[in-house]
Amino acid sequence: MECGRCAQACSYSAIIKQTRPCISACKVRALSLDPDSRKARIDHEKCIACGACVYQCPFGAISDRSYIVEAVRILKESDENRRYRTYAVVAPSAAGQYADVDMAHILGGIRALGFADIVEAAWGADFVAWLEAQELAEKKFLTSSCCPAFVSLVRKKYPQLADNISHNLSPMAHMAMRIKQQDPEGKVIFIGPCIAKKKETLYGPAAQYVDCAITFEEMHALFEARNIDLKQVEPYTPDRASYYGRVFARCGGLAEAVTQALKEQGVSEAEFALKAVSCSGIADCNAALLKASKGKLTENFIEGMACESGCIGGPACLSHGARNRVQFGKYEKMESERTISGAIHIGDDELSNNIAKGGE
């Protein structure tokens, strides 16, 4: 029966229960063994595309679909941005990918791949925090919409809470939307640590704004193919996002940003008092959503992150070490004096001017 009860009961550890790493990693129980072939199979009715099985598989037997060829095609057919401009929307967790390379040089390397301009997804997060604060103050209870795997979890396992999902786009999609409004012919490629983002760009509102999504692993492969030495490239600093937009990358950052947005919008605690629960990983998300579905949750905002620690623990990160998180910590504090409203007021005029100049 493979229930494991005998192994638990044995005082001498004489019975060992062996479970495949991918199955252990899947917290939504979408992976199981085919009884005949003994091969792992995925139940797509349960799968939320979080990528945990891909990250945990030591044999590379499970992989996400790669769009690196599509990304290369978009860059190549732009004819060095003469036919159309290409834009990279880069997740803030990129800052923690290389322990000895800062964000400016990582972005410089991305630009060396042939992009006309680079835009921080963190800037989109500033807009999302502002809009989400307004929606939350109005509706009094929300679940976040930034993590596509978490959104999928809500829709598939807790459909009774689907109406409570924030109606705002994710930071990636919001930033891509603003680029497309300014440059309808431009092409947008998202670069981040998330496998679920690939699914987000295929289905739903993000599909009309994001042309392609690749991971940090695929980004690194492009650097290797082009012989780009990140330490030698010209650094590039967009300098648009606030600290609050950048901390979206870690668990608790979204709640922190929404708290700040409510403060900047002048919403008093008498009008609305934010009580957030920040969920790090599927187990935390399930616990909060289960309470909410039973009417037992005392908080009024669920910040759901499918990955442990948030996006900085994403399955397609190059490294999950402590040094990389220290590197990200330095980056998030670079704009500590800028408010969310200050980042927003940089606004479309600057983006429009930058697009007009081709990202120069």
- Residue 22's pLDDT band (boundaries 50, 70, 90)? confident
pLDDT at 25: 74
pLDDT at 126: 95
For the beta sheet containing 117-120, the strands, ordered from the edge strand earlier in sequence to the opposite edge, are: 117-120, 86-90, 187-192, 212-215
CA gap 303, 297 in Å, rounded: 13
Structure-derived torsion over alpha carbons of residues 349, 92, 68, 106, reported in degrees to the nearest 10: 90
pLDDT at 10: 77
pLDDT at 359: 47
DSSP-derived 3-state class of residue 241: coil
pLDDT at 113: 97
DSSP-derived 3-state class of residue 119: strand
pLDDT at 348: 55
pLDDT at 326: 80
User: What is the radius of gyration, based on Cα positions, of the chain?
Assistant: 21
Query: By mean pLDDT, which of 140-149, 298-307, 342-351 is the weakest?
Result: 342-351
- Residue 292's pLDDT band (boundaries 50, 70, 90)? very high
**332/149: higher pLDDT:** 149
- Residue 1's pLDDT band (boundaries 50, 70, 90)? very low
Q: Write out the H or E segment, with its range, that includes residue 353.
A: helix 340-356
- Residue 39's pLDDT band (boundaries 50, 70, 90)? confident
Read off the pLDDT of each residue in 32-56 and give the average, rounded to a whole number.
Answer: 81
Q: Which of 270, 283, 280, 276 is nearest to 257 (CA)?
A: 276
Q: Give the number of other CB atoms < 10 A from CB of residue 264.
A: 17
pLDDT at 34: 73
Query: By mean pLDDT, which of 74-78, 195-199, 278-282, 343-347 is the weakest?
Result: 343-347
pLDDT at 207 > cutoff 80: yes
pLDDT at 357 > cutoff 60: no
Give the pLDDT confidence of 293-344 residue by residue, as tens digits: 999 999 999 999 999 989 998 988 888 777 777 888 888 877 666 899 988 8
Give the pLDDT confidence of 241-288 residue by residue, as tens digits: 899 999 999 999 999 999 999 999 999 989 999 999 999 999 999 999
Supply the pTM of this predicted model: 0.88
Q: Which of 88, 185, 166, 85 is nearest to 127 (CA)?
A: 166
